[in-house]
Amino acid sequence: MKTAAAVPVLMYHHVSPQPGLVTVSPATFEANMRWLAEHGWTTLGSDEFAGFLAGRPVPDKSVLITFDDGYLDNWVYAHPVLQRYAQRATLFSITGWLGDGAVRAHDGCGQALPATPDHRACKRAVDEGRADEVMMRWSEVEAARAAGTFEFRSHTHSHTRWDKVCASREEKCERLAADLAASRAMLQQRLGENSDHLCWPQGYFDADYLTVAAAQGYRHLYTVDKALNTRATSPQAIGRIVTKDRRDAWFARRLQLYRRPLLGRLYLALRGK
């Protein structure tokens, strides 16, 4: 078996017919997943990806698909597409924003679909205490997990940038530690497991963040940096590809660039990365 020299990590947020920031349409997401299936790509789980970073082989043309936050549209539109093409993704969930309630309809189930607002409206709903209108519920998390479309990892409990709201370094570290501990506890309580994979809110981290995360048991840390992921990549600095509402040609080029170390390094050098 030919094995991967580098593994691209894709970053999605919204899959929704409502255009806006960090959003791809359901048709684009379906085109992306269909392209992967038709061109022989393997979608990894986060533990398989961690194994790759540790030196274990994974198939050539492997990719890790990630989602941030846990918006309702991930269940309504992304889940059925992943299921249709037998793909899987890692969803970094903000555990404090997920609520309880019945499973809502998803695309293709023959029922009326819930509204999936754009990114700004989602943020406003969360700020106004209406997170349930725009975020997944734990019942949907459990259903997606059981279907094998999503696995769930930590994106903190509150999605707070503690470096921006705390008056001192000590307070920042204490509040971050409590936030990460709450996220771990919630995942353990709700899913019976947690992991050492953590995605930073807004991609921000500093030396204190890294120290606190390590003390909380997080070893694989995901950024928003454009970077190749090879066996030489530090698990504390996993790079991701920001997806756009563009289909086969753009999508294929990005994957080819980030799976070929020499080509990828040249591309990043030319872009000043």
Q: Maximum distance among all alpha carbons in the chain?
A: 54
Specify burial of residue 20 (Cβ count, 10 A radius: 0-12, 13-18, 19+).
middle
Which residues form the domain of 255?
Answer: 9-270
In a domain, 43, yes or no: yes
Domain with 188 in it: what CATH number? 3.20.20.370
What total number of domains does the chain contain? 1
In a domain, 40, yes or no: yes
In a domain, 118, yes or no: yes
Q: Are strands 197-199 and 220-222 parallel, antiparallel or unpaired?
A: parallel
In a domain, 148, yes or no: yes
- Which residues, in sequence order, are bridge partners of residue 62? 42
Is the pTM for the entire model greater than 0.95? yes
- Which residues, in sequence order, are bridge partners of residue 193? none
Are the C-beta atoms of 136 and 73 separated by less than 8 Å? Answer: no
Read off the pLDDT of residues 109-165 as tens digits, 9 standing for 90 and up. Answer: 999 999 999 999 999 999 999 999 999 999 999 999 999 999 999 999 999 999 999
Read off the pLDDT of residues 203-252 as tens digits, 9 standing for 90 and up. Answer: 999 999 999 999 999 999 999 999 999 999 999 999 999 999 998 899 99
In a domain, 64, yes or no: yes
In a domain, 220, yes or no: yes
* pLDDT given for residue 94 in this prediction: 98
CA separation, residue 20 to residues 11, 85, 93, 117 (Å): 16, 25, 20, 9
Read off the pLDDT of residues 3-49 as tens digits, 9 standing for 90 and up. Answer: 999 999 999 999 999 999 999 999 999 999 999 999 999 999 999 99
Q: Which long-range contacts (CB under 8 A, 24 or more apart) does 164-167 make?
A: none
In a domain, 1, yes or no: no
Neighbour tally for 170: CB within 10 Å: 10
* pLDDT given for residue 273 in this prediction: 61
In a domain, 4, yes or no: no
Are the C-beta atoms of 122 and 136 separated by less than 8 Å? Answer: no
Mean pLDDT (whole number) for 78-84? 98
